[in-house]
Structure formats: C-alpha cells, structure tokens
Amino acid sequence: MAVEWKTPEGEPVIQVHDLGIEFLKGRKRNLSLRELVYRRRTTYEKETFWALRNVSFDVGRAEAVGLVGANGGGKSTLLKMIAGTLLPDEGYAEVTEGVAPMIELTGGFIGELSARENIYLMAGLHGMKKETVDARFDDIVKFAGPQVERGLDLPFRHFSSGMQVRLGFSVITQLDEPIILVDEVLAVGDRAFREQCYKRMEELLAEGRSMFLVSHSEGDLKRFCTRGLYLSGGTLVDDGPMKDVLDHYNKDLDAGIS
C-alpha cells in the first residue's frame, strides 16, 4: 500500500540546518546547582565537545539515505535528533511527517508485562489505534517468529535478547509512518531472520517511504540507499550518491583520516 504524504511533492520532509549538539566530556561528577547557574564562570565550557556541528541537508519524499562514518562520528546522534529524542544546542532538525524509529527497538517495552500486552503498548506509544493493532496483531506475531508466538503470554523479560529485538522490529515495521530511521538493527538475528528483515525493508521502500539507515555494512547501504551522507568528527564532509560517498569514506579509512 502506497504511503500517504502530507508534504507536497518536491518539498523536503526533513530539513536540517546548521545543526549542532554539545555533550559533556569526561565529567566524573554531577554539576552543582551553583555551577549550573554560573556555568560560564566555571570550567563547564572546557568539559564539553560538539558531537555534531554545522550539519545541513534536506531529504525529500521517498529518498533512501545511508549514513556512514567511523564510530563516534555522530551518526546515531543525528538519527536521534531527527527522531526528536535529542534536542539541538544550535540550528534545527525539522521533520514534517511521522517517524518510525528503529533505533532502540526494545526501549518501549516493560519487562513485567506479557509480550501480548507489550505489542499494544509499543504500538500505542507510536500512535497506532487499538483497532488497528487488533487488525495487524497476527501479522506482527507471525513476523516475530514461532518462539515469540509460543511465549505471547509470558513476561517480556523472559524473552531472549534476540526475541525481544524481533518483536520490536515487527511492531515498528507495522507503523504507517512515512519516514523510517534504522540504526544497525538489520545486523541482528540469524541469517533467515535478517533476510526476512531485508525483504520487509524493501517492501516499505516500495511503498514510497523515506529512510535513514546507519550501518557498517556496505552491502546493506548499497542495497537500500541511493544517497549517502558521510559524517566525520561531527561534521558533514560528503553528501552524494551512495557509491561515491562510500568510496570517499573508504579512501579516508585507508589514509587513516576518517
């Protein structure tokens, strides 16, 4: 089923402008109230670093974008800022459509609730109505696999980490949101489940959704993404066709400058 967009064709669905976020670095104690109030007079400023700074780009409808860069380059931070779970210190990330975040897939589950209850909880947290969950419940469970199906009424905490991730992926990919944010989750599970995930992602893209994918797998990036963004040290150093961006990144890796 084709995705329904509110944003007119040709208009960006994600606008990132001069985005920056500052984190504390190496601080071993909490700041005192006095330091928080008078932090400009303390060493607080010296204890920070910019995880992202001066990052700007637009994303349109149905674009599939891959984020590449070394660990610590800012990829996951950028994804969380687009998802709205981190707020910028500079600039902005404006998103005009709903987002399905595959970032921390088990973060919304409660261990003492059953898997069945958690399906309704997670879907509801993302805005899905109960009647819609009812209609899609069997598909969610079937995708998550027979182990999850057999344990539907067990406390979620009894599930293995793999079962938990499978259920989280299954719920999130049933959302109708036009924008998908994926942070390395395609690397989980056995080979059969990974291929099942790949096929599901291809179905979502075929429906015309936009996607951001963070991955260290060149195969995954080339399979799903036509455009690449290369982050290094919190700055955007390249934006172009996925293959060209990967070539740039690999060249920097070989030179030891990524």
Please indicate, yes or no, if residue 8 is contained in any of the structural domains: no
pLDDT of residue 28: 44
pLDDT of residue 123: 95
Please indicate, yes or no, if residue 203 is contained in any of the structural domains: yes
Please indicate, yes or no, if residue 1 is contained in any of the structural domains: no
Please indicate, yes or no, if residue 9 is contained in any of the structural domains: no
Of 231, 217, 187, nearest to 69 by C-alpha is 231
Q: Give the pairing of strands 227-232 and 99-102.
A: unpaired
On the 0-12 / 13-18 / 19+ scale of CB atoms within 10 A, 60 is middle
Please indicate, yes or no, if residue 20 is contained in any of the structural domains: yes
What domain count does the chain have? 1
Does residue 104 carry a pLDDT above 90? no
Most trustworthy range by pLDDT among 1-5, 102-106, 151-155? 151-155
Q: What is the CATH number of the domain that holds 149?
A: 3.40.50.300
DSSP state of 31: P
Across all residues in the chain, what is the average pLDDT? 90
Tell me which residue range forms the domain holding 22. 14-35+45-255
Please indicate, yes or no, if residue 251 is contained in any of the structural domains: yes
Please indicate, yes or no, if residue 40 is contained in any of the structural domains: no
What's the first-to-final CA gap in the chain, in angstroms?
40
Alpha helices in the chain (DSSP H): 33-37, 75-83, 115-125, 130-144, 146-150, 161-172, 191-206, 218-224, 242-255
Please indicate, yes or no, if residue 2 is contained in any of the structural domains: no
Does residue 35 carry a pLDDT above 70? no
